[in-house]
Amino acid sequence: MTKIFVEFFSPGSFVAEKDSMPIDSYNIEKACEMSKTITQRYDAKPYGFRFVTRSRGDNDLDSHISDTSAMYYIDGTVLSLEELETRGDPRDRILISNMKSNKWSHVVRTFSPYLWTQPLERGDKIVDSSTGKVIFTANV
């Protein structure tokens, strides 16, 4: 038995808040529309989502994750370490330090309505919230 879910991630106080909802398929446009109905604490809206397939065999007590999609960031902006260093904004000092120490070449930044920054990983995608179309795929 398998079932597909979409997990929505919203800015939280220390870590992301997460909501999981069933969905029929890995349908990006539908997930974008669903994201508009979710509000977390402090009126935070999802900054991104991913699809998860959960499976359970006849002898399994509980389901397990059998497949996971890349992360889809809603209306995100990709920033490189080089770009951040070049622009020289003192507010980026801690981010630059974290990127160097963790060997992150790129991050993605969203506003939902809160600023949220995550490391960008290979295969992650930026999706346009108004069309539900992928406008960028990370190759880092």
pLDDT exceeds 90 at position 89: yes
What pLDDT was estimated at residue 36?
Answer: 95
95-136 pLDDT, tens per residue?
999 999 999 999 999 998 889 999 999 999 999 999 999 999
> 110 - beta bridge partners?
116
Looking at residue 14, the DSSP 8-state letter turns out to be S
Asked whether the predicted pLDDT for residue 13 surpasses 90, the reply is no
One-letter amino acid identity for 97? S
Q: What is the pLDDT of residue 39?
A: 93
Closest C-alpha among 97, 71, 103, 74 to residue 84: 97
The pLDDT value recorded for residue 57 is 87
Confidence grade of residue 140 (pLDDT, cut at 50, 70, 90): confident
Phi-psi region of 136 (alpha: psi -120 to 50; beta: other; left: phi over 0): beta
d(Cα 97, Cα 128) in Å, to the nearest integer? 29
pLDDT at position 100 is: 98
87 burial via Cβ count (<10 Å: 0-12, 13-18, 19+): exposed
Strand-pair partners of 5: 22, 52
17-30: average pLDDT = 96
